[in-house]
Structures are given as C-alpha cells and as structure tokens.
C-alpha cells in the first residue's frame, strides 16, 4: 500500500537511552564470533576480557534504540511482512567506551519511491551520544519496503552502492568461522526475531534452518576489517558500510576480501565459503592508515 511520505518523514521517534555494562560488551563480541580459539591472542583478548576491555566498533549500531518498534505502529502503514534490511552504515566519531550510558536520537532521513510494483526504500539514521552529550557514532541503514511503493515520491537521488573492483584481485583477505550456535548467542544482545532460532518460524520464511542475523554477519565482517586494515585497533576504524546480499547460516565460514583504494580507504566484499555465495557486498571502509 502507498504510504504517507510527510507523516513517515516526520515521525516522532522517541529518544533511546541505554545503559550497558562490560558484560554486555563481552557478550556482543562473543555474539559476532570473537574468542573462537584457546589460547587467545592479546589482540583478541581485549574484546572479551574485562581487564583492559575494549568495545568492538560495530557494537555502536545496536545501542540507543528507542523503546518499541515504531514501524510496527498501524498508523505508519508499513507492510512489515515485505520489509528487508538493505544496507548498513557506520561512522565512528569517537571510540565507544567499554561500558556506560548512551543516548540515541533517530530520524527518517529520506524515502525513495521505486514504483507501485517495485516498492520503496527508506533511509534512517541514529546519532549515538554519551551521557554528557558527546557524539560517539552515527549509524544508518536502508529498509527496502516491497509493499509500500507508488506513494508519489521520487527515486532520484538515492545513494548508489559503492563499487567493488572486478578488474583485479583483492589486496588482502581473511577467513573467519562462525559457531553453529552463533545466532543463539547474538540474539542475547537484543535482536529477538524468532527467524534466527525457531526452526518452524524459519520454515515459514522458506528456510530449512534458522538463518544468522544480518547484523551478526556485519559484526563478523567488522572484526575482519579490524584485523586486515586496523591492526586490531578499534580506535583506527572511521567508517564501515555494507549492502546485504544474501543470508548466512550459523556455522558457515566467511571470507572477507578488501581492495585498497587510497590512503585510509578500501572496498570490501564478504562471501561464505561453504556455498560460495556473496553475503555482504559493495562495502566501504575508512580507517587511520
């Protein structure tokens, strides 16, 4: 069904306030596949050990959400059965503390109309602040709404995917495994969608087994980026954007490939080796070289 552009664009999204602990930070790291071996390297230990603990930068994308799910409000007129997470963006302004209180302020930035038979794409963002008002991170995402096109808007100006070079091999890559119980761990960080744990629910979505959270695969890729480009130092990551291309299943192995594009810039792509399927594409990274 067509949506009311002005109403959604100016939706009064409540401010989100969240207190998180060192335990939450460790749980997030485990949820995105950290600490998979024994013994742990000092670089890996820093994300799961309270002594000298550091937060993974991608954790900023799950903090500061408003209470409830405003898109589920019937007044919004969004067909949730036909909604897909399209892209994820992250800009780090300051390293995320290992524990603390954060404030999230979320906005609907733009909605592009692809047509009645093609749906609409909504871009939102959330600025994450410390309790004393310092901007820590800006996360953004696109939502593909297959059931809400044809509202009379325009498709002009929609951001284009970042190109990944196809004329040369990648400059570096890394393989990271996931656990069979990866989705069960990751959901403890706040994403309770039954698609990722309930086999019967997953079957209704057309999957033989539950799939991994897209934001979990994003976090795994974030760990890969830290190792490939930042010497595992989270303070060096400045931006990390991807487009979701296909589902990943718990227990699969990811291969993250990066192409250097200049000082402190790289393109990225992630595939799962077991099925040779690209799951994250059109990635873009900025980092302190």
Task: Catalytic residue, from 191, 197, 264, 278: name it.
Answer: 191
Active site residue 68: no
The closest alpha carbon to 176, from 256, 281, 259, belongs to 256
The three-state secondary structure class of 203 is helix
Choose among 112, 119, 109, 161: nearest CA to 139: 109
Compute φ and ψ for 153, nearest 5 degrees. Answer: -90, -170
C-beta of residue 159 within 8 angstroms of C-beta of residue 165: no
Tell me the H-state helices in the chain.
5-9, 22-31, 42-45, 182-186, 199-204, 214-229
Active-site residue flag, 104 = no
Please state, in angstroms and rounded to a whole number, the distance separating the CA atoms of residues 71 and 60.
Answer: 21
* CA distance linking residue 97 with residue 30, whole number of Å: 17
Residues in Cβ contact with 284 at an 8 Å cutoff, skipping those fewer than 6 apart: 162, 239, 240, 241, 242, 265, 266, 267, 268
* Sequence-ordered list of residues with C-beta below 8 angstroms from that of 228, at least 6 positions apart, any chain: 172, 173, 174, 256, 258
- Catalytic-residue membership of 214: yes
From 33, 119, 147, 214, active-site residue: 214
Residue from 8, 92, 103, 211 carrying the catalytic annotation: 211
The verdict on whether 211 is a catalytic residue reads yes
- Indicate which residues carry an active-site annotation: 191, 196, 211, 214
């Amino acid at each position: 069904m067509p949506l009311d552009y002005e109403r959604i664009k100016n939706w009064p999204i409540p401010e989100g306030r969240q207190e998180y602990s060192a335990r939450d930070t460790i749980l997030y790291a485990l949820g995105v596949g950290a600490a998979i071996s024994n013994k742990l390297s000092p670089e890996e230990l820093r994300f799961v050990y309270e002594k000298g603990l550091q937060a993974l930068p991608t954790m900023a994308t799950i903090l500061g959400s408003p209470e409830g799910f405003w898109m589920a409000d019937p007044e919004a007129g969004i067909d949730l059965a036909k909604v897909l997470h399209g892209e994820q963006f992250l800009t780090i302004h300051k390293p995320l503390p290992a524990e603390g209180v954060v404030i999230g302020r979320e906005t609907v930035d733009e909605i592009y109309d692809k047509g009645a038979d093609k749906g609409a794409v909504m871009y939102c963002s959330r600025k994450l602040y410390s309790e004393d008002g310092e901007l820590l991170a800006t996360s953004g995402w696109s939502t593909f709404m297959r059931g809400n096109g044809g509202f009379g808007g325009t498709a002009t100006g929609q951001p284009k995917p970042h190109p990944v070079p196809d004329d040369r091999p990648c400059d570096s890559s890394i393989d990271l495994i996931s656990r069979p119980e990866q989705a069960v761990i990751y959901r403890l960080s706040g994403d309770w969608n039954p698609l990722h744990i309930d086999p019967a629910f997953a079957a209704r979505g057309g999957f033989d087994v539950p799939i991994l959270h897209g934001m979990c695969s994003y976090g795994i890729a974030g760990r890969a980026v830290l190792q490939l480009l930042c010497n595992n130092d989270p303070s060096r990551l400045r931006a990390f954007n991807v487009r979701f291309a296909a589902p990943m299943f718990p227990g699969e192995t990811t291969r993250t490939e990066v192409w250097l594009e200049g000082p402190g810039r790289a393109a990225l792509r992630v595939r799962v080796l077991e099925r040779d399927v690209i799951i994250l594409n059109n990635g873009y990274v900025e980092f302190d070289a």
